[in-house]
Amino acid sequence: MITVTVGEGRIMVSGHSGYAPPGQDIVCSAVSTLLQTFIASVERLTLDDIKYTLKAGYAAVEYEEIPSEKTILLERAFLIGINGIAESYPDNVKIIREDAPKP
C-alpha cells in the first residue's frame, strides 16, 4: 500500500502499491510520475524553495516558507491526480490529510 500524507507545507509518500511486480506496477509509476512532476513544476515555474527526498519506496517534499499561489495551485493539481489514483485503486493507495479537521 502506498500512503500519501499531506500536511501543511509537506507531502510524504511511502510504501509500494503491490499492484504488480516492480518495474511493471502502473500504480507506483503513476504516483511517482505525479510527485516528480509536482517537484519539477514548483522548481521551474515558481520562485519557491522546496526541499525533497526521493528514494525507493519513500519521498518527502517540504516547503520552508509560505508557498506562493502558483505552488498551491500545483499542489492542488497533484492532489487531484493522487485522489483519482486512490479512487481507482483503493486497495493500493491511501491518502491521509493531516490538516483535515478532526471530528
* Per-position b or e across 37-47, b if 16+ CB within 10 A of its CB: ebbebbeeebe
pLDDT for 65 equals: 77
Asked if residue 24 is part of any domain, the answer here is no
**pLDDT digits over 1-21, tens only?**
999 999 988 999 999 999 999
Asked if residue 57 is part of any domain, the answer here is yes
pLDDT for 101 equals: 54
Q: What CATH number has the domain bearing residue 51?
A: 3.30.70.1490
Q: Assess whether pLDDT exceeds 50 at residue 23.
A: yes
- The domain of 85 spans 2-11+31-97
**Count of the separate structural domains present in the chain:** 1
Q: What's this model's pTM, rounded to 2 decimal places?
A: 0.90
Give the full edge-to-edge strand order of the sheet including 2-7: 50-55, 58-63, 10-14, 2-7, 93-97
> What is the distance between the alpha carbons of residues 67 and 98, in angstroms, rounded to a whole number?
17
> What is the distance between the alpha carbons of residues 38 and 45, in angstroms, rounded to a whole number?
10
**pLDDT digits over 45-77, tens only?**
999 999 999 999 999 999 877 899 999 999 999
